[in-house]
Amino acid sequence: MKNLPQKFKALIITLSDRATRGEYEDLSGPIAKEMLEGYFSEINWKIETTCEIISDDKSRLRQLLNEYSQNYNIIITTGGTGIGPGDITVDVVKDLINIEIPGIMDHIRLKYGMEKPNALLSRSVAGIMGNCLVYTLPGSVNAVKEYLSEIFKSLQHTIYMQYGIDVHKKH
């Protein structure tokens, strides 16, 4: 069993060729940061969040994940979860995670896919890379809000499990 960190470190990586070129402002990364910091504040845990914007570049994403997963507790990506030619995020992350956590993303796809069938095209994944939780979210602001709202329902318990802390009630 490991102790929880005194302060969690989170990294939010937005993957977008257009935002990297300055064609539009990244809105999904900042909303993910705001929501994550709000959630941690609600549960009275400290968090320090960093944001990065990179192009849809497999080698650059792989390099960042390998480097940052050693020093961060949570990495959230936005963008690159669809089926287009530039949607590389999921493929890179799947190759690097040690443990996949498929249930949360399956739940989100089904919940929102009932109303919006296009949501079923998301290939988002969640998992653990080393000691770091990794979540890949679609790039739209609305999708980030929907995904994080669902992820937060189990995030604290996920972290307890990851650190070997048994919070289940004994019968």
Per-residue pLDDT of the chain (171 residues; tens, 9 = 90+): 578 999 999 999 999 999 989 899 999 999 999 999 999 999 999 999 999 999 999 999 999 999 999 999 999 999 999 999 999 999 999 999 999 999 999 999 999 999 999 999 999 999 999 999 999 999 999 999 999 999 999 999 999 999 999 887 654
> 146-151 long-range CB contacts below 8 Å, 24 or more apart?
146/108, 146/112, 147/108, 148/32, 148/35, 148/36, 148/39, 148/76, 149/35, 150/104, 150/107, 150/108, 150/111, 151/104, 151/108, 151/126
Q: Which two three-digit tokens encode residue 68? A: 């940052």
pLDDT of residue 169: 62
Nearest-angstrom CA–CA distance, 123 and 112 = 13
**Model confidence, pTM:** 0.95
> What is the pLDDT at residue 166?
86
Angle at 50 between CA 160 and CA 46, to 5 degrees: 40
Domains in the chain, CATH or no CATH each: 7-162 (3.40.980.10)
The DSSP 8-state label assigned to residue 12 in this structure reads E
Tokens, residue 144: 């980030």
